[in-house]
Structure 1
Amino acid sequence: MKVMTRLLAATAVAGMATSVSAADMTMKFGHVGAPGSLFEATAENFADCVNSSMTDKVEIQTFGSSQLGNDKEMLQKLKLAQMDFSLPSSIMSSVDDSFGIFEMPYIITSRDHMRRVQEEMMDVFQKAANDNGYHIVGLAENGFRHITNNVRPINVPADLEGVKLRTPNGVWRLKMFQEYGANPTPMAFSDVFTALQTGVIDGQENPYAQIASAKFQEVQKYLSITGHVYTPAYILASKKKFDSLPEDVQAGLTDCANQTQDFTYETAAEMESVLLKEIEDAGVEVNTADKAAFIEASKPIYKQFADEVDGAQEMIDTVLGLGQSG
Structure 2
Amino acid sequence: MSMKVTLFGMAALAFAGAAQAQTEVKIGYALPENSHYGAGALTWAEVTEAETDGAFSFVHYGSSGLGGEREVLEGLQLGTVEATIVSSGTLSNFVPEAGVFDIPFLFRDFDHARATLDGPIGQEMLAKFEDQGMVALAWGEQGFRHITNNRNPVAEAGDLAGLKLRTMENPVHIEAFKTLGAAPTPMAWPEVVSALQQGTIDGQENPLSVIVSAKLNEVQKYLTLSGHVYAPNVLMVSKIFWDGLSEDEQEAFRKGAVEGGLAMRAFVDEAEASGAQAMADGGMEVNELDLDQKAALQEALAPAYEDYARMFGAELIEEIGKVE
TM > 0.5 fold call = yes
Which residue in 1 is equivalent to 2:320? 319
CA contact (8 A) 2:126 2:138 kept: no
The one of 75, 78, 96 aligned to 1:77: 75
- Residue number in structure 2 paired with 1:107: 106
Mapping 1:189-204, distance limit 5 Å: 189-204=189-204
1:192 CA displacement: 0.5
1:47·1:62 contact (CA, 8 Å) conserved in 2? no
Q: 1:38-96: per-residue Cα shift (whole Å, max 9, x none)? A: 11111111112222332332111211000000001001111111111111112112212
Give the partner amino acid of 1:302: Y
| Secondary structure of 1:69 counterpart | coil
Q: Does 1:92 align with 2:108?
A: no
| Conservation of the 8 A alpha-carbon contact between 1:163 and 1:182 | yes
SS in 1 for 2:237: strand
Q: Distance in 2 between matches of 1:253 and 1:298?
A: 40
2:62 alignment partner in structure 1: 64
Distance 1:103 1:158 in 2: 22
Q: Aligned partners of 1:110 and 1:123: how far apart in 2? A: 19
Moved over 6 A (4+): none
Q: Does 1:262 align with 2:262?
A: yes
Matches of 1:301 and 1:243, distance apart in 2: 40
1:301/1:128 CA distance change after superposition, 3 Å: farther
- d(CA) in 2 for partners of 1:204 and 1:123? 30
Aligned to 1:91, the other structure's residue is in SS state helix
State the one-letter code of the partner of 2:199: G
State TM-score, norm by structure 1. Answer: 0.88
CA displacement at 1:123 relative to structure 2: 4.2
| Structure 2 residue 311 is the aligned partner of structure 1 residue 293 | no
Counterpart-to-counterpart distance in 2, 1:73 and 1:22: 29
Deviation at 1:111, TM superposition (A): 2.9
Distance between the aligned counterparts of 2:314 and 2:197, measured in 1?
A: 40
| Contact 1:106/1:229 (8 A) holds in 2 | yes
Cα deviation, residue 262, structure 1: 2.1
Code of the residue aligned with 2:62 in structure 1: it is: G
Alignment size in residue pairs: 302
Equivalent residue runs for 1:207-286 within 5 Å: 207-286=207-286
Partners of 1:104 and 1:301 within 8 A in 2: no
Question: SS where residue 92 of structure 2 aligns?
Answer: helix
| Partner Cα separation in structure 1 for residue 161 and residue 33 of structure 2 | 33
SS of 2:162's equivalent in the other structure is coil
Task: Pick the aligned partner of 1:46 from 44, 47, 67.
Answer: 44
Q: Which amino acid aligns with 2:203?
A: G
Residue by residue over 1:232-251, the C-alpha shift from the partner in whole angstroms, topping out at 9 and shown as x without a partner, is: 11001122321231110100
TM-superposed deviation, 1:35: 4.3
CA distance in 1, matches of 2:19, 2:185: 43
Q: Distance in 2 between matches of 1:122 and 1:220?
A: 34
In the alignment, structure 1 segments of 5+ residues that lack a partner are 1-19
Structure 2: 5+ residue stretches without partners: 1-17
Q: CA RMSD in A?
A: 1.6
Query: 1:282 Cα deviation (Å)?
Result: 1.1
Identity %: 34
Q: Residues 191-241 of structure 1, C-alpha deviation per residue, up to 9 Å, x if partnerless?
A: 111000000000000011111211211011100000000111100112232
Change (3 A) 1:40 1:21: farther
d(CA) in 1 for partners of 2:294, 2:136: 32
SS in 1 for 2:232: strand
Deviation of the 1:120 alpha carbon = 2.0
Aligned mates of 2:33, 2:277 — CA distance in 1: 18
Give the whole-Å Cα distance in 2 for the aligned partners of 1:21 and 1:233.
33
- Within 1, Cα distance between the matches of 2:165 and 2:207? 15
